[in-house]
């Protein structure tokens, strides 16, 4: 089998496979769907790749119970020998771009390396906890970062969009912890709880969840059952 054929099989999602307490998907964007009553529901479209079990961690051996999964083959030139050896049993001869972990106390009895993760882990109506990385906006001032009002634009205020005074008197003589200053905004892990799964389309490898999901297009999203 050629490398192209092997990669194609590795990246084709399937409804058949093991069901864990969560899965990973990639954000595609937002859309609108309609329920049976004709009400519009804003949804985020999540693309599901073919995630394969690459390691099974147990309490006896690793100190905790979890399943490591991998997806999207790497180019051979970008993979280390350690990566190739570690992921070979899962069917990734050239390594994988994404290797993640799902903690789970009770593992399926028939779980083995190379098993595919099923998109049917979730069904319509399930409530999940979503974690993803928010969009990064770089270094921002206090007005944009914290929504400060700023000073008057005229009449000699002389601080306009600056943070303003940040100190105290002789006592305590220091800036208090938690003071809001300019700095890096965004690009941090955000968790949203109680998100409803609106639909699961196994044929197209797509999940629809209600409302917005942090991050930009192609952001990796972790979904875990509440």
Mean of pLDDT values over 133-145 = 96
Look at residues 43, 47, 42, 89 and name the one whose alpha carbon lies nearest to residue 70: 89
* pLDDT tens track for 29-48: 999 999 999 999 999 999 99
On the question of pLDDT at 13 being above 80, the answer is no
CA distances from 181 to 54, 158, 164, 184, 210 (A): 43, 18, 10, 10, 34
Look at residues 177, 202, 43 and name the one whose alpha carbon lies nearest to residue 122: 202
Mapping DSSP to helix (H, G, I), strand (E, B) and coil, where does residue 102 land? Answer: strand
**Separation of CA 159 from chain center:** 39
pLDDT value for 14: 53
> What integer best gives the mean pLDDT of the chain?
91
pLDDT value for 116: 94
Per-residue confidence band for 154, with pLDDT thresholds at 50, 70 and 90: confident
Mean of pLDDT values over 167-177 = 89
pLDDT value for 4: 42
On the question of pLDDT at 10 being above 60, the answer is no
Quote the CA–CA distance of 110 and 132 in Å, as a whole number. 30
Mean of pLDDT values over 164-192 = 92
Per-residue confidence band for 155, with pLDDT thresholds at 50, 70 and 90: confident
What is the reported pTM?
A: 0.84
On the question of pLDDT at 161 being above 50, the answer is yes
* pLDDT tens track for 183-218: 999 999 999 999 999 999 999 999 999 999 999 999
Per-residue confidence band for 164, with pLDDT thresholds at 50, 70 and 90: confident
CA distances from 107 to 147, 202, 208, 213 (A): 46, 23, 26, 28
pLDDT value for 15: 56
pLDDT value for 138: 97
Fold of 3-135+187-225: Elongation Factor Tu (Ef-tu); domain 3 (2.40.30)
* pLDDT tens track for 47-94: 999 999 999 999 999 999 999 999 999 999 999 999 999 999 999 999
Quote the CA–CA distance of 88 and 84 in Å, as a whole number. 6
**The dihedral of CA 41, 43, 49, 50: what is its sign?**
negative
Quote the CA–CA distance of 136 and 1 in Å, as a whole number. 41
| 100 vs 157, higher pLDDT | 100
Residue ranges of the domains in the chain?
3-135+187-225, 138-180
- Strand 96-103 versus strand 136-140 pairing type: unpaired
Which tokens hold the place of 76? Answer: 């051979």
């Amino acid at each position: 089998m050629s490398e192209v054929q092997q990669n194609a099989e590795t990246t084709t999602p399937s409804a058949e496979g093991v069901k864990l307490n969560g899965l990973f998907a990639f954000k595609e964007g937002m859309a609108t769907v309609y329920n049976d009553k004709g009400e519009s529901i804003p949804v985020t479209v999540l693309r599901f790749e073919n995630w394969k079990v690459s390691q099974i961690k147990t309490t006896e051996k690793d100190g905790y119970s979890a399943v490591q999964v991998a997806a999207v083959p790497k180019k051979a030139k970008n993979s280390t020998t350690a990566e190739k050896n570690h992921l070979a049993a899962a069917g990734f001869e050239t390594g994988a771009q994404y290797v993640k972990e799902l903690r789970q106390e009770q593992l399926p009895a028939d779980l083995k390396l190379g098993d595919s993760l099923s998109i049917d882990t979730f069904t319509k109506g399930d409530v999940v906890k979503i974690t993803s990385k928010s969009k990064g906006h770089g270094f921002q001032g206090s007005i944009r970062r914290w929504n400060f009002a700023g000073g008057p634009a005229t009449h000699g205020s002389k601080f306009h969009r600056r943070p303003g005074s940040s100190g105290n008197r002789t006592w305590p003589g220091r800036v208090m912890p938690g003071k809001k200053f300019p700095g890096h905004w965004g690009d941090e892990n955000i968790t949203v709880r109680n998100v409803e799964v609106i639909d699961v389309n196994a044929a197209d490898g797509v999940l629809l969840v209600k409302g917005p999901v942090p991050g930009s297009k192609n952001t990796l999203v972790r979904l875990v059952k509440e």
